[in-house]
Amino acid sequence: GLEVFGTYETMSGITMTDANTRFNQLALEGLYYLGEKRNFFGGIRYNNVHDTENDISVNRFQVGAGWYLIPSVLIKAEYVNQRYYNSSIYGENAGFNGFMIETAVSF
């Protein structure tokens, strides 16, 4: 019942104002499914995006659990902690943390 995902991306280029730009992103996720029909799961996720030209970064950490009520309806609860470092847009060390509950219906 264990699933693990990972992504590493890098991007570089020139902005519309002719400034150099370069970003790196790292994303890791692990899910573990439970139940006879694998309709319950717990998971953890980490994501980091770093602007190497301006030394600005965003870190996001999530941990949660979910239940597929039926295959097309998901109910889940998560704790999220997201921080912005050295951001001139959002302020020094801005961010948020807290709990969220959501329902998703797929069709």
The per-residue pLDDT string of the chain (107 residues; one tens digit each, 9 = 90 and over) reads 999 999 999 999 988 888 888 999 999 999 999 998 999 999 999 999 999 888 889 999 999 999 999 999 999 999 999 999 888 777 777 899 999 999 999 98
Q: What is the distance between the alpha carbons of residues 48 and 43, in angstroms, rounded to a whole number?
A: 17
Residues contacting 30, CB < 8 A, separation 6+: 2, 3, 4, 5, 43, 44, 45
Considering the entire predicted model, what is its pTM? 0.82
Q: How many CA atoms lie within 13 A of 93 on its CB side?
A: 0
